[in-house]
Amino acid sequence: MILVAGGTGFVGGAVVRELRRRGLAVAVLTRGAKRAASRLESLGVDLREGDVRDAASLEPA
């Protein structure tokens, strides 16, 4: 499993799509899972809620 921070952005989204195209398992770290879900569900990624600016939120991710 590869965790991608910024996977909802332009560059991160391209990275996520390429990783999935290669058949790799991907999790995307997002501040708002509900908002990101609509864009990422079709790619078959695992959404993890957290913020890179908050270390405590990264532990569960």
CATH number of 33's domain: 3.40.50.720
Alpha carbon 61 to chain centroid distance? 10
Looking at every residue in the chain, the average pLDDT score rounds to 85
Say if 58 falls within a structural domain. no
Q: How many domains does the chain have?
A: 1
- Return the closest-CA partner of residue 33 out of 61, 55, 1: 61
Say if 61 falls within a structural domain. no
What confidence tens digit (pLDDT) does each residue in 43-59 have?
899 988 888 777 777 77
Higher pLDDT, 31 or 27: 27
Residue 1 pLDDT level (bands cut at 50, 70, 90): very high
Residue 17 pLDDT level (bands cut at 50, 70, 90): very high
Q: Write down the pLDDT at residue 61.
A: 65
Structure tokens given for 36: 């990101």
pTM, full prediction? 0.79
